[in-house]
Amino acid sequence: MKNQINKPYINTELIGRFQSLNDGYNYKKLIAILNEINSSYSSGNSYACATLLRALFDHIPPLFGFNNFESVVNQHPWQQSVKEFMKRLLDFKNEPDDILHSHINNKEDFFTIDNLPSNNRVNRLLQEAVVSKRLDPTQATLPQKTSSPTPIVIKFEPEHGVTWANHGVGRRTWSCFRLVISINNFKSNKPDYIYVELTAKDNDGVWKASNFEFESSSEHGEMSINKPFRIEANSKTTISVFISNSTDNQRIPLPDLDRDTLKVLVKTESGTEFEFIVPPACIRTE
């Protein structure tokens, strides 16, 4: 009879954190793997747990910006002590391979549920996957063209969506996209100015929207199209910005653009540029 284990192998709070993510990745398979590991572990199914862990290690490298688990272990900036037990997870990968591919023979098999790697190591790996500063569709892929070092950090917030609608901007209605960015100028002693545009491919080649208005400006009811947002020194904020390829009040439908190629380009007066890929699932219309 199999031993019943009450404590879950994978921390259920971590599973919940993956369920709440909305950053362009499809976490359905990952969540299923984690839940099946817990189910197999609670039933004492050692072979199932081992092979599911193997699948987990092969599935998550893109969350760290890598193509394989070996690169995650060896190239991600782990603390030295953490890196040592990540290497032990890498070593463990050979055991599920043996389980999956070894033929039946007359030798005794000693692999049991106790031979699984410490669940603390696996949970630490998953925790890092959630919080990692990974290269993904929601983070800057291109800080460039810096005329001088600057600590400003700008991020695109995809959970708020990129919505095309006839938005009420100030005292007018404007057909445009609305998106949200966060700006962190907390470590700088100088203010900076922010500009935003969108680009995508379309039937004519390249679609570009370079007319923008920040929500803080539109709240005053004045026309402030293409007026850069001033971020003060030692401050940070999250703000909505409206962007369109037109400045007219005339209502127009969503442009016929290739949603898989939509990008946000954020420029600062100090000379830094940040480019973000917009996950197609974030693009909405109202």
Whether 197 is in a domain gets the answer yes
Domain termination residue (choose one: 70, 97, 131):
131
Please report the pLDDT score of residue 223 as a whole number.
56
CATH (domain of 258): 2.60.40.2950
Same domain, 103 and 45: yes
Whether pTM > 0.75 for this model: the answer is: no
Which pLDDT score, from 0 to 100, does residue 229 have?
A: 93
Same domain, 22 and 75: yes
Number of domains in the chain: 2
- Is residue 92 included in any domain, yes or no? yes
Does residue 110 sit in the same domain as residue 169?
no
Instruction: Indicate whether 141 belongs to any domain.
Output: no
The residue range of the domain holding 208 is 153-285
Report yes or no: 174 and 244 within 8 Å, Cβ to Cβ.
yes
How far apart CA 160 and CA 69 sit, in angstroms, is 31
Whether the predicted pLDDT of 142 surpasses 70: no
Sign for the pseudo-dihedral over CA of 21, 71, 33, 8: negative
Rounded to whole angstroms, the Cα distance separating 104 from 83 reads 35
Same structural domain, 157 and 87: no
Name the domain boundary from 79, 100, 131.
Answer: 131
Q: What contacts 24+ positions apart, CB below 8 Å, involve 220-226?
A: 220/170, 221/170, 221/171, 222/170, 223/170, 224/170
* 186 and 274 inside one domain: yes
Q: Which of 213, 142, 219, 140 is nearest to 179 (CA)?
A: 213
The pLDDT, as a whole number, for residue 144 is 44
- Choosing from 131, 166, 196, the residue where a domain stops is 131
**pLDDT tens digits for range 201-254:** 988 889 999 999 998 765 544 557 899 999 999 899 999 999 999 988 778 999
- The answer to whether residues 105 and 184 belong to one domain is no
Q: Give the pLDDT confidence of 68-127 residue by residue, as tens digits.
A: 888 889 888 888 888 888 998 888 877 777 777 677 777 777 778 888 888 999 999 999
Do 269 and 161 reside in the same domain of the chain?
yes
**Inside any domain, residue 7:** no
Same-domain pairing of 31 and 108: yes
Query: Which band of pLDDT confidence, cut at 50, 70 and 90, is reported for residue 137?
Result: very low
Task: Give 96-99's long-range contacts (Cβ < 8 A, gap of 24+).
Answer: 96/50, 96/51, 96/53, 96/54, 97/54, 99/47, 99/50, 99/51
| DSSP single-letter state for residue 257 | B
pLDDT for 3 equals 54
Residues 167 and 280 in one domain: yes
